[in-house]
C-alpha cells in the first residue's frame, strides 16, 4: 500500500516541491478535488486505502479514522489540532504531527495589518469611496497603545515582537506561563482586559474565553482581534458590545461556523477575513513541505 491522501484545498498550488518529494519516494498521491473543506463522506472517498494523510481542517473523529483502514500517519498542514481526535488516533495506533513553525510569521503579520486597518478605519474608508462618498474618517495611532496578547505561544510572541517598533506597551496573559517572558510582562486575563486598548487573541484551543461578562470588563472604546480559534469569542456578545459602542471595533479571521454568514458582516466597525492567517505563499510552501517531511518521518520512508 503506497497511497498518500492530501485533503487541504490548494496543496502544491504555488510550489510543487512537496509533491515532488512524495513522487520521488514512489508514493501515489490523491488530492482534494473539491477546493474546499471536506465532509466525512468525501474524506472516506479520497483517503480510502491511504497509509498516510496530509490533513487540512476537516474533522477527523474516531469514526472517520476507524473507517480509514490501514492509515498509519496524519500530518496536519497547520498548527491547530482541534479537528483531530488525538485520543482516538493514539488508540488506533495512528501517529499525528503538525507544522507549528510555518504559519507563525504569516499570522503575526496579518494581525498587525488588521490592527492598523481597524484603528485607522482603512476598509471602512475604502468602502465609502467605492460607494461614492468622500468621507474622511478619523482614526487612531497604533503608537503608544496598550496591547494585551492572550495566548503567548509562537504567534503571540512573534506578534509582540513586530509591535515593539511601534512603541506599543505590551502585556500578555497565558495560564501556561509564569512571570515575565522575553522581556514582556505577564498579567491575569481579568487585569489585561481592563488595561488594554487593544486585545489580540492567539490561543491554541477552541474553548470560549470572551463572553459578555469579559467584554464588559474590557476598557470602554477598546478594540478586539481574534486570530486563533472561532469558538473563543462569543460572536453574539461581540455583536452586542460593538452595537452598543462599548467596543470601538473588532477584526476576526476565524469564526465558530465557517464559512461565516452572521450579523457581524453588517457592521462597518468590523474587519472580517475568511480564515487567511497562514495564506501567505511563503508560509504555505513551508507548511506543505514540513507536513510532507513529517509524514515521511512517521512512515519511516
The DSSP annotation for the chain comes to: --EEEE-STTTTSS--HHHHHHHHTT-EEEE-SSSSPPPHHHHHHHHTT-SEEEE-SS-B-HHHHHHSTT--EEEESSS--TTB-HHHHHHTT-EEE--SSTTHHHHHHHHHHHHHHHHHTHHHHHHHHHTT---------STT-EEEEE--SHHHHHHHHHHGGGT-EEEEE-TT--S-BTTBEE--HHHHHHH-SEEEE--SS-S--B-HHHHHHSPTTEEEEE-S-GGGB-HHHHHHHHHHTSEEEEEES--SSSS--SGGGG-TTEEE-SS-TT--HHHHHHHHHHHHHHHHHHHT-
Spatial CB neighbours of 175, under 8 Å, sequence gap ≥ 6: none
Give me the catalytic one of 109, 120, 246, 275. 275
Give me the catalytic one of 58, 229, 284, 288. 229
Active site residue 207: no
Active site residue 258: yes
Crossing angle for the helix pair 281-299 and 104-120, to the nearest 10 degrees: 150
The residue assigned the cell 460607494 is 131
Active site residue 229: yes
Give me the catalytic one of 28, 212, 258, 282. 258
Would you name the residues annotated as active-site residues? Answer: 229, 258, 275
Amino acid at each position: 500500500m503506497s497511497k498518500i491522501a492530501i485533503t487541504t484545498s490548494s496543496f502544491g498550488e504555488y510550489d510543487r516541491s512537496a509533491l515532488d518529494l512524495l513522487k520521488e519516494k514512489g508514493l501515489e498521491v490523491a488530492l482534494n478535488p473539491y477546493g474546499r473543506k471536506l465532509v466525512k463522506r468525501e474524506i472516506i472517498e479520497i483517503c480510502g486505502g491511504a497509509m498516510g494523510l496530509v490533513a487540512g481542517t476537516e474533522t477527523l473523529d474516531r469514526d472517520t479514522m476507524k473507517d480509514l483502514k490501514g492509515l498509519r500517519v496524519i500530518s496536519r498542514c497547520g498548527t491547530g489540532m482541534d479537528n483531530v481526535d488525538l485520543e482516538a488516533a493514539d488508540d488506533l495506533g495512528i501517529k499525528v504531527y503538525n507544522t507549528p513553525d510555518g504559519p507563525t510569521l504569516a499570522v503575526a503579520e496579518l494581525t498587525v495589518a488588521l490592527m492598523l486597518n481597524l484603528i485607522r478605519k482603512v476598509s471602512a474608508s475604502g468602502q465609502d469611496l467605492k460607494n461614492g462618498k468622500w468621507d474622511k474618517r478619523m482614526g487612531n495611532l497604533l503608537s503608544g497603545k496598550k496591547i494585551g496578547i492572550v495566548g503567548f505561544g509562537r504567534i503571540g510572541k512573534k506578534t509582540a515582537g513586530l509591535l515593539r517598533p511601534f512603541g506599543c506597551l505590551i502585556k500578555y496573559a497565558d495560564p501556561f506561563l509564569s512571570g515575565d517572558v522575553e522581556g514582556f510582562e505577564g498579567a491575569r486575563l481579568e487585569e489585561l482586559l481592563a488595561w488594554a486598548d487593544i486585545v489580540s487573541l492567539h490561543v491554541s484551543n477552541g474553548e470560549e474565553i470572551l463572553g459578555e461578562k469579559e467584554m464588559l470588563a474590557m476598557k470602554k472604546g477598546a478594540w478586539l482581534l481574534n486570530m486563533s480559534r472561532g469558538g473563543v469569542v462569543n460572536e453574539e456578545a461581540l455583536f452586542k458590545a460593538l452595537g452598543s459602542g462599548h467596543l470601538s471595533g473588532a477584526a476576526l479571521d476565524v469564526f465558530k461556523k465557517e464559512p461565516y454568514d452572521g450579523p457581524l458582516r453588517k457592521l462597518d466597525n468590523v474587519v472580517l477575513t475568511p480564515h487567511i492567517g497562514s495564506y501567505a505563499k511563503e508560509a504555505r510552501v513551508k507548511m506543505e513541505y514540513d507536513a510532507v517531511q513529517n509524514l515521511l518521518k512517521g512512515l519511516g520512508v
